[in-house]
Chains A and B, each alone.
Chain A
Amino acid sequence: MTQYLIRRVLISIPTLIAISIVIFTILALAPGDPLAEFAMNPAVPPEVRQRIRQSMGLDDPIPVRYVKWASSMLRGDFGYSFRSKSPVIDLIRQRLPTTLYVIGTAYLVSVLIAIPVGVLSALRQYSVFDNIATTLAFIGFSLPTFVTGILFILIFSVKLGWLPMIYRTTIEVEGLAGLWLRIKQALMPIMVLALFETAALTRYTRAAMLETIHQDYVRTARAKGLSERAVVLRHALRNALIPVVTIVALSIPGIFTGAVITEQIFRVPGMGSLLISAIRDNDTPVIMAITIIFSVLVVLFNLIADILYGVLDPRIKYE
């Protein structure tokens, strides 16, 4: 197990290096100059601009720049934002809690709904409940987050006026009222994300449960007279959850990137909106940092999913 773990971690390192090289090269090859605003500014003479370029290392060959960037990244130094001139790590630290709060809640909600619904609808296959659940899941799965987001705004903000359209960080109301305002404005982003995830996860849980429920060991459990509850919970569900847990782990990075769109709809000041504004501003250090963080998340959760799979399913042998 330990040996397998070490090997898995070692395999993921070249993947990360390759990804960072790809992204770095794209950024380096792209037209567009982060110092373009200086070029427009007549107060900055060309020599000064040249010196700034040199001090920022913009004139070095790409491989040199990559090595410089990668080594400082490894030391935990993400560099400075071209735009706001503040350290990238500070920007991310500002934005991360909001993103984590919204995404985390959404994911929790969707797991709590999807697993029971998926199990029930598999147990009562082709019943009315199953039909409704599968149809809803299919619709939820086909609704992109930006469409649901707009729909929710139309219903809950424009028509009913219950929830605010725009997420604000500067709520100055103290006490319970302020807390309620904060919860209220997070409701729609959470619902939008949760709806999509719930739909996908319900489909998956139902499929996994249908697979296990027809296994011989489940029939054996029934045949030896166990209660239906014990059969379902202890014999079928535990096995059905193996692939579900894996998919839960695997899709966590996907939610982070999916949240980019949701954050944009509701103007949630999270990682996603930071990324979008950085792309618009040609703010290379910020873009690099966020994409690398997303890639690390993907690789990390792949690893976690693999390990979880092995822990939950003793039939899997690590070579």
Chain B
Amino acid sequence: MSEVTEQRRVTASNGALASAAQLLPQRKPRSLWGDAWRQFKHHRLAVAGSFVLLFMVLATLIGPFLWPIPWNRFDISEALQGPSLRHPFGTTDLGHDIFARTLWGGRISIAVGIVAMLVAVTLGTLIGAIAGYFGGILDSLLMRVTDMFISIPSLPLLLLITYLFQDRMKAIFGIELGMFLLIVLVIGGLNWMPVARLVRASFLSLKQKEFVEAAHCIGVGTGGIIFRHILPNTVSPVIVAATLGVAQAIITESALSFLGLGFPPDIPTWGRMLYDGINWIEFAPWMVLFPGAAIFLTVLSINYVGDGLRDALDPRRMFAV
């Protein structure tokens, strides 16, 4: 295709230069995102993953409105029933409908994943940008802090903070919001380090580039250079890290709730449902099977999407862990 354009351009320069623009075929320019999408489409599993993910998100968003049984209604006379037409995923030991709870809990699990990732990415981007742009003492100080956070064993600290501060947070913000905020902040606050390193590395190389110099010359302020000129160029690796970060955060929240140190029983996230179900595993395997499958499907499809994005956005195909 480009050869044809090239030929036309040559004939155009031989002939009337003025009509060159008209001779060029009217075609939309290829953008970064267009290229990325074209590449992404070839990764079949990533596309499949996107569909599954979209389905899960829509199901948890719309499902609770459509399903006739509310997630918090229980009926002891219907306790511990296996999957049936009335209760497709069975019922819990108290007679809750597991299907309704899986839908409702998925909302919270996915929301925790997304918001915790946003916290981590915002924090990481900010720290990485400051360290990379300003350099010097500020940089080495921030990188020391990053190194320290990397050496902190995150799971024990996570358990500790959520356990110790949940009462205070619940008292301030109410049970649901307090717990949500606490978990999201803690997960985000302990997972920003990879993003900070990525962003810092990009800033270090980008701030020397000519376009940044040009921006300096026309008098763009520091904030403008950081946010308008450099930051958009660091976006591709951050997007990949963010996608995988959502999966990580969902796993972490589920692990917390599974250990009984996350959401309380009246907020049935997928991890919490596993925690409640494991004692009944011999009599009512469906109590753990369906929430477990929901976690697995969501995480697997997010990971595939992340994998596809990595191939699509990074032409060098780096092997990030």
B288 near A287 with CB under 8 A, answer: no
A 200-234 to B, binary, CB cutoff 8 A, 1 in contact else 0: 10001001100100000000000000000000000
| Cβ-defined partner of B274 (8 Å) among A32, A143, A146, A258 | A146
A294 near B289 with CB under 8 A, answer: no
| Interface of chain B residues 138 through 155 with chain A (CB within 8 A) | 144, 147-148, 150-155
| Cβ-defined partner of A261 (8 Å) among B153, B247, B258, B319 | B258
A138 near B303 with CB under 8 A, answer: yes
> From B167, which residue of chain A is reached at the shortest CB distance?
A31
B55 within 8 A of A: no
Provide the bound-state CA to CA distance between A139 and B159, in Å.
26
A 248-264 to B, binary, CB cutoff 8 A, 1 in contact else 0: 00000100111011001
| Cβ-defined partner of B160 (8 Å) among A146, A257, A279, A295 | A279
Residues in A with CB closer than 8 Å to B48 are none
B218 within 8 A of A: no
B304 near A138 with CB under 8 A, answer: yes
Binds A, one of B3-11, B30-38, B234-242, B278-286: B278-286
Distance from B287 Cβ to chain A, minimum over Cβ atoms (Å): 10
Distance from B217 Cβ to chain A, minimum over Cβ atoms (Å): 37
A23 within 8 A of B: yes
Main SS class of interface, A: helix
Taking A26-B164, A257-B154 as contacts, is the C-beta distance between A146 and B255 under 8 angstroms?
Answer: yes
B157 near A291 with CB under 8 A, answer: yes
Residues in A with CB closer than 8 Å to B254 are 144, 146
Taking A247-B321, A265-B278 as contacts, is the C-beta distance between A295 and B151 under 8 angstroms?
Answer: yes
Distance from B290 Cβ to chain A, minimum over Cβ atoms (Å): 11
A287 near B160 with CB under 8 A, answer: yes
Among B148, B154, B271, chain A packs the most CB atoms within 10 A around the CB of: B148
B300 near A142 with CB under 8 A, answer: yes
B163 near A279 with CB under 8 A, answer: yes
B153 near A257 with CB under 8 A, answer: yes
| Cβ-defined partner of B151 (8 Å) among A32, A146, A298 | A298
A15 within 8 A of B: yes
A27 within 8 A of B: yes
7 new A-B contacts at CB < 8 Å, known A32-B167, A146-B255: A26-B161, A32-B164, A139-B300, A150-B292, A153-B281, A158-B282, A276-B259
13 pairs of residues in contact across A and B, judged by CB atoms under 8 Å: A23-B152, A27-B164, A30-B164, A32-B167, A144-B296, A147-B292, A147-B295, A257-B153, A260-B159, A276-B259, A280-B261, A287-B156, A298-B152
**Chain B interface (Cβ < 8 Å from any Cβ of A):** 144, 147-148, 150-157, 159-161, 163-165, 167-168, 247, 251, 254-255, 258-259, 261, 271, 274, 278, 281-282, 285, 288-289, 292, 295-296, 299-300, 303-304, 307, 319, 321
